[in-house]
Amino acid sequence: YGHKIKTDELSFGKGKTSKDKANRATVENVLDPRTIKFLRALTKRGIISEFNGCISTGKEANVYHALAGENAGGTSGELAIKIYKTSILVFKDRERYVDGEFRFRNSRSQHNPRKMIKIWAEKEFRNLKRIYMSGVVPAPQPIEVKSNVLVMEFLDRGDGAPSPRLKDYLYKDELEIARYYYKILAYIRLLYQVCRLVHADLSEYNMVVHDSKIYIIDVSQSVEPQHPMSLDFLRMDIKNVNGYFEKLGIELFQERMIFQFVIA
């Protein structure tokens, strides 16, 4: 994963060695001092033991690999750390997800970007926890959230690399394609009926194939059925999933049939 960075080396002080400088350069490009402070605190508390390189750089967040500390809980020993970017611009359109959201109303922080990002990370953590605890839809185990830093179970491929997103997954045969399609439709329904959530950004980019199962990730924007736009988001999710499987050439269900199946 590129540079290995021990958390005690996450420093903005004046490093003397060239390694210090390299680490500082790597870190400074992506992590602001407050984020580093939170990572250090997580290390002190024994959640993280070693902070490694980047798994993914996104528009709104980067995901890093880390080794679990002794207090991280019952996981494989590896962690995925999602760090929301603290720059303001990309967070603008988030308000429409949080605005209609009963759970986050009256949190007066909606116009302070820092607080907004914190709310966003907490929202992903809570949604992830709800899915994980339900036991009916696979999701990475949420471990900790601290401001813009979310710590969860790392979904590994077995050889240290992250498990592939559905987009990058190579199917064994056509039967497997169809099985995954039906499975995903069932998960959309279980998310709705059991977890009381609509993913709202569901696509082949936000599902990971791990241990021959489909894991749902990236649930920061997920909303409850009471959200005024939840059914629009649901239709969008269904459309994305059908669009992806259409390209794989299997026979599809009509979107409005799936919609009825999910909400009925």
Stretch in the footprint of Mn ion (CB under 5 A) among 103-111, 155-163, 214-222, 245-253: 214-222
Active site residue 93: no
Find tokens 């909303």 and name the residue. Answer: 223
How many C-beta neighbours within 10 Å does residue 171 have? 14
Query: Considering the complex, what minimum distance in angstroms separates the CB of residue 202 from Mn ion?
Result: 10
Q: What is the largest CA-CA distance in the chain?
A: 64
Q: Are 140 and 111 in contact (CB under 8 A)?
A: no
142 binds, among Mn ion, ligand ATP, none (CB under 5 to 8 A by kind): none
Indicate the residue whose CB is closest to ligand ATP: 58
- Closest listed residue to residue 82, CA positions, set 7, 9, 154: 154
Sheet holding 149-153, edge to edge: 48-57, 61-68, 78-84, 149-153, 142-146
Stretch in the footprint of Mn ion (CB under 5 A) among 98-106, 148-156, 165-173, 215-223: 215-223
Q: How many residues contact Mn ion, by CB under 5 A?
A: 2
Q: Are 121 and 92 in contact (CB under 8 A)?
A: no
Q: Are 187 and 206 in contact (CB under 8 A)?
A: no
For position 122 contacting Mn ion by CB under 5 A, the verdict is no
For position 218 contacting Mn ion by CB under 5 A, the verdict is yes
Active site residue 173: no
What are the residues binding ligand ATP (CB under 6 A)? 55-56, 58-61, 63, 80, 82, 140, 152-155, 162-163, 165, 205-206, 208, 217-218
How many C-beta neighbours within 10 Å does residue 180 have? 21
56 binds, among ligand ATP, Mn ion, none (CB under 5 to 8 A by kind): ligand ATP
Q: Are 110 and 116 in contact (CB under 8 A)?
A: yes
For position 206 contacting Mn ion by CB under 5 A, the verdict is yes
Which entry of 99, 159, 218, 232 is annotated as an active-site residue? 218
Instruction: Return the active site residues.
Output: 201, 218
* Binding site feature residues for Mg(2+): 206, 218
* Binding site feature residues: 82, 155, 206, 218
